[in-house]
């Protein structure tokens, strides 16, 4: 068995090639579900396969935003090889077993992150039994676990970027340009007890310009996995390349909005500005959701951000006392306020349990975080993750707790290390309190994003640049009636539990009414009570323990039946 690390990948090695080359038949699978339950394979009910409900809106009950995201890493690999390939996303164990025996696969690739290592072990075991001739390749963040080679029975374990590794393994040209797969960013979206209809073009397309981040914060696993400080892997270097990919996705998926999966999109100003130039030339009124650090955001004027189409921004807030370079010189509270006034939804991210946190100061730090009044707020425990400089440091200092199951190292449970001042039990209490406090003070995120949209609309509805005007008008036209109805239901639901929030929601609803078209103004009277009913029904379901699972998806490419 071989472990391939980022460094090794750069050297072609003929011994690493599969004998069948690009004729090899490949199965690429994510780990099996169900996920939102406690089981012996490492599923945890508090760790569902959902972005928002897992780590952002989990305390918001039936107002929590629920949706699933595909496994983009294996989709990207599939799109960039010429071998016959099946992607099996979110299978059950039975689905995986069935697929292994239904076709003769030469290669079985398993994609996983660290929490799911027990599932990888089980999938390797199943593959050896049901498809003994297959070579097993394991990739993704799970490969960063020290001693992984003794924990799972795989032929290759790949650390770092997977497309170039797989191309080399199949004897294909590694240097060929990356072909971007058409990815609909989210699916089966659900809020207030209803599943939103999935119309073509209504959901953003995911664009993956790069993996890794050169900032190299000590706890950051994505940065470390793709080379660490000063390094990252760029798939699309220039604004022109990015524009072409986005244009292609626009026509394939009929979208005008994009979820840009780049750890620090705004850090690369030259690329973003060239993209803007091309958008202006072509009259594109695109919307973009991006991740960026505060210091990178500060490289742009608000007008530039709005013109590029940034409408949703995921930004680390951490703590003003943490001393991360990415925050230097940034007053994140002021920045958040300004962004929202320009119609940019902010998703803040705060770490609980930083080195300087103590039981005495943590409440004030959480209060500082929630006082940002972001549209969404992610809270995560400070977690030394294998492969990161922080993990190395903690291991050297003998502070890693030995008996923590990897399945519980997901940042939403308890510390996996010995904190100087906060106990393991208290770490969870403070984390849960942060989510609760944000919800209690700022209300449902759905209300907050409606408020930000309205701010943007009021500021930009008569803006000289037609692309910008059109973007806000599009969103307002599509959503104002729905938001008005949702606000009506929220206002009523909160009347008894939190009068202050209910009144704020009511004031916003009135404003929406004045800004909406006649049809949208009428909608809340009909749709509002329905939403109130579905919300209450959902609350009862959740209280009974209802959870949601992503659908199993199977996609074949370059396929000819054997």
Q: What is the dihedral of CA 247, 252, 254, 256, to 10 degrees?
A: -30
User: Which position among 36, 83, 205, 215 is part of the footprint of ligand SF4 (CB under 6 A)?
Assistant: 215
Q: Please identify, using beta-carbon distances, which residue of 136 and 335 lies nearer to ligand SF4.
A: 335
Name which position in 107, 220, 297, 381 contacts ligand SF4 (CB under 6 A): 220
Asked if 141 interacts with ligand SF4 (CB under 6 A), we say no
Question: Tokens for 498?
Answer: 């939190």
Contact residue for ligand B12 among 71, 118, 127, 374 (CB under 6 A): 71
Residue 556's DSSP bridge partners are 86
Q: Does 346 help bind ligand B12 (rule: CB under 6 A)? A: no
Measured between alpha carbons, how far is 8 from 26 in angstroms, rounded to an integer? 23
Which of 139/239 has CB closer to ligand B12? 139
Query: Do the beta carbons of residue 277 and residue 239 sit within 8 Å?
Result: yes
Tokens of 282: 């072509």
My answer on whether omega of the bond before 274 falls inside 30° of 0, hence cis, is no
The radius of gyration computed from the CA coordinates of the chain, to the nearest angstrom, equals 24
If the CB atoms of residues 389 and 477 are measured against ligand SF4, the closer one turns out to be 389
Told to check if 479 binds ligand B12 by CB under 6 A, we report no
Closest approach of Cβ 96 to ligand B12, in Å? 14
Q: Considering only the stretches 208-216, 246-254, 351-359, 405-413, report the one whose residues sit in contact with ligand SF4 under the rule CB under 6 A.
A: 208-216
Cα three-residue angle 225-55-440, rounded to 5 degrees: 150
Classify strands 194-195 and 187-191 as parallel, antiparallel or unpaired: antiparallel
Q: Fill in the per-residue mask, 223 to 252: x = in contact with ligand SF4 (CB under 6 A), - = not in contact.
A: x-----------------------------
Site for ligand B12 in 141-200 (CB under 6 A): 141, 144, 158, 161-163, 165-166
Label residue 145 left, alpha or beta by phi (over 0 means left) and psi (-120 to 50 means alpha): beta
User: If binding is defined by CB under 6 A, does position 210 make contact with ligand B12?
Assistant: no
Tell me how far, at minimum, the Cβ of 208 lies from ligand SF4, in Å.
Answer: 14
213 binds, among ligand SF4, ligand B12, none (CB under 5 to 8 A by kind): ligand SF4
Beta strand pairing status for 345-352 and 287-291? unpaired
* Residue 103 CA neighbour count, 13 Å, CB half: 21
Residue 42 contacts residue 116 (beta carbons within 8 Å): yes
| Partner whose footprint covers residue 388, from ligand SF4, ligand B12, none (CB < 5 to 8 Å by kind) | none
Q: With CB cut-offs between 5 and 8 Å by kind, which of ligand SF4, ligand B12, none does residue 456 bind?
A: none
**Cβ atoms 157, 2 nearer than 8 A:** yes
Nearer to ligand B12, 174 or 304 (CB): 174
Region from 58-66, 77-85, 125-133, 219-227 binding ligand SF4, contact rule CB under 6 A: 219-227
Q: How many CB atoms lie within 10 A of CB 361?
A: 14
Select the residue interacting with ligand B12 from 54, 285, 287, 452 (CB under 6 A).
54
Measuring CA to CA, which residue among 410, 382, 392, 411 is closest to residue 116?
410
Bridge partners for 436 per DSSP: none
Considering only residues 276 through 305, tell me which ones interact with ligand SF4, judged by CB under 6 A: 293
- Residue 452 to residue 341: CA distance in whole angstroms: 7
Site mask for ligand SF4 (CB under 6 A), range 303-322, x = bound: -------------x------
Residue with tokens 């399945």: 407
Q: Six-digit token pair at 378?
A: 């992610």
Q: Which does 217 bind (CB under 5 to 8 A by kind): ligand B12, ligand SF4, none?
A: ligand SF4
Half-sphere exposure of 343 (CA within 13 A, CB side): 27
Smaller CB distance to ligand B12: residue 263 or 538? 263
Residue 519: CB minimum distance to ligand SF4, A: 43
Q: Are 67 and 52 in contact (CB under 8 A)?
A: yes
Find which of ligand B12, ligand SF4, none residue 316 binds, CB within 5 to 8 Å per kind.
ligand SF4
CB of 330 to ligand SF4, least distance (A): 12
User: CB-based burial of residue 166 (10 Å sphere; 0-12 exposed, 13-18 middle, 19+ buried)?
Assistant: buried
Query: In the complex, which residues of this chain contact ligand B12 (CB under 6 A)?
Result: 30, 35, 47, 49-51, 54-55, 69-74, 76-77, 109, 111, 113-116, 137, 139-141, 144, 158, 161-163, 165-166, 208, 211, 221-222, 261, 263, 385, 410-412
Query: In the complex, which residues of this chain contact ligand SF4 (CB under 6 A)?
Result: 213, 215-217, 220, 222-223, 263-264, 293, 316, 326
């Amino acid at each position: 068995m071989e472990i391939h690390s980022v460094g090794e990948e750069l050297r072609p090695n003929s011994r690493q090639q599969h004998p069948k080359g690009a004729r090899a038949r490949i199965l690429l699978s994510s780990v099996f579900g169900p996920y939102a339950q406690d089981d012996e394979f490492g599923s945890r009910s508090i760790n569902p396969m959902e972005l928002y409900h897992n780590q952002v809106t989990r305390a918001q009950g039936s107002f929590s935003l629920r949706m699933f995201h595909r496994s983009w890493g294996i989709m990207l690999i599939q799109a960039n090889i010429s071998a016959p390939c099946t992607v099996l996303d979110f299978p059950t164990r039975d689905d995986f077993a069935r697929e292994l025996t239904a076709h003769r696969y030469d290669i079985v690739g398993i994609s996983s992150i660290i929490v799911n290592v027990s599932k990888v072990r089980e999938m390797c075991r199943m593959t050896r039994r049901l498809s003994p001739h297959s070579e097993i390749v394991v990739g993704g963040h799970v490969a960063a676990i020290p001693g992984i080679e003794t924990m799972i029975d795989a032929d290759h374990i790949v650390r770092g970027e997977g497309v170039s590794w797989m191309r080399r393994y199949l004897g294909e040209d590694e240097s060929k340009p990356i072909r971007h797969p058409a990815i609909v960013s989210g699916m089966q979206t659900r809020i207030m007890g209803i599943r939103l209809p999935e119309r073509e073009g209504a959901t953003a397309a995911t664009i993956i310009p790069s993996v890794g981040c050169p900032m190299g914060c000590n706890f950051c696993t994505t940065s470390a996995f793709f080379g660490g400080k000063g390094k990252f892997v760029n798939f699309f270097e220039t604004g022109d390349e990015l524009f072409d990919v986005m244009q292609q996705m626009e026509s394939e998926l009929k979208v005008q909005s994009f979820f840009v999966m780049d750890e620090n999109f705004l850090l690369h100003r030259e690329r973003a500005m060239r993209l803007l130039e091309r958008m202006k030339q072509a009259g594109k009124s695109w919307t973009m959701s991006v991740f960026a650090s505060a210091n990178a955001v500060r490289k742009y004027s608000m007008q530039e951000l709005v013109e590029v189409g940034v409408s949703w921004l995921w930004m680390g807030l951490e703590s003003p006392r943490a001393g991360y370079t990415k925050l230097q010189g940034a007053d994140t509270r002021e920045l958040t306020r300004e962004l929202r006034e320009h119609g940019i939804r902010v998703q803040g991210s705060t770490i609980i349990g930083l080195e300087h946190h103590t039981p005495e100061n943590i409440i004030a730090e959480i209060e500082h975080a929630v006082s940002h009044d972001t549209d969404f707020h992610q809270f995560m425990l400070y977690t030394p993750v294998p492969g990161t400089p922080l993990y190395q440091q903690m291991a050297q200092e003998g502070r890693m707790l030995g008996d923590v199951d990897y399945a519980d190292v997901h940042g939403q449970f308890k510390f996996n290390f010995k904190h100087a001042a906060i106990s393991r039990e208290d770490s969870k209490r403070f984390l849960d309190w942060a989510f609760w406090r944000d919800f209690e003070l700022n209300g449902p995120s759905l209300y907050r994003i409606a408020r930000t949209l309205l701010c943007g609309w009021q500021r930009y509805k008569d803006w000289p640049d037609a692309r910008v005007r059109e973007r806000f008008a599009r969103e307002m036209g599509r959503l104002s009636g729905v938001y008005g109805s949702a606000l009506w239901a929220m206002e009523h639901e909160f009347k008894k539990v939190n009068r202050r929030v209910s009144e704020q929601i009511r004031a916003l609803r009135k404003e929406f009414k004045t800004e909406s078209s006649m049809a949208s103004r009428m909608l809340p009277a009909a749709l509002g009570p329905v939403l109130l009913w579905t919300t209450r029904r959902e609350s009862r379901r959740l209280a009974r323990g209802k959870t949601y699972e992503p659908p199993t998806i199977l996609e074949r490419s370059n396929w000819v039946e054997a």
